Amino acid sequence: SQKIEQNSEALNIQEGKTATLTCNYTNYSPAYLQWYRQDPGRGPVFLLLIRENEKEKRKERLKVTFDTTLKQSLFHITASQPADSATYLCALGGTDSSYKLIFGSGTRLLVRP
Amino acid sequence: ETGVTQSPTHLIKTRGQQVTLRCSSQSGHNTVSWYQQALGQGPQFIFQYYREEENGRGNFPPRFSGLQFPNYSSELNVNALELDDSALYLCASSARGVRETQYFGPGTRLLVL
């Protein structure tokens, strides 16, 4: 069955450093991959979408890479700030008509001042 | 804020009861998806409604059912509640032509005792 792995351990970094989060998947060939941010008790907030034919996408301090050979996506936050502290979810989407998303369990990021 | 609203915000029910959760999609969006998120896990796709019809369903039993209304708002109904149904229920809407990107509401926290 489809499996998405995100580091279950929290990532703890110093303010100003680059945070790198990993999403690995198996038994799936997604048409696109998305990253969401989720704060405690809130719904996920869409950040970036990258398609299978794209290698890299950037938006302000965020960068996503997508390697369909390695079946891996990396999510980078440069010049991290304490306000970036949250759980980040990776989600895969296919070509079925429902555009349903398959989510990983998320990685919690803590940015120390 | 995404413009997707959900009600109620919190709900406590007992095993065997029935519950109805409501969602108003973002203006201009005609597709609504429902997800269940257990504590510490990523959201799991329940089903999607597009133009008032179910358009894709995840691995959830028939006691999970839904509706979409002409104004694109939606309901999720769960019958014969079980303890494992305790979770955050998320509604996400997406726009015609950009259905990959889903905008989530704040969720309804359901506790089944």
Residue B101 has a pLDDT of: 84
Are B103 and A103 in contact (CB < 8 Å)?
no
CA dist A85 to A15, B18, B61, B96, Å? 10, 37, 36, 32
Comparing CA positions, the residue from B71, B78, B84 lying closest to residue B32 is B71
CB contact, 8 Å: A96 with chain B? yes
What confidence tens digit (pLDDT) does each residue in A85-95 have?
A: 999 999 998 87
Give the residue on B whose Cα is nearest the Cα of A108: B40
**pLDDT surpassing 90 at residue B27:** no
Over range A87-109, report the average pLDDT.
89
Q: And the tokens for B64?
A: 């999970």
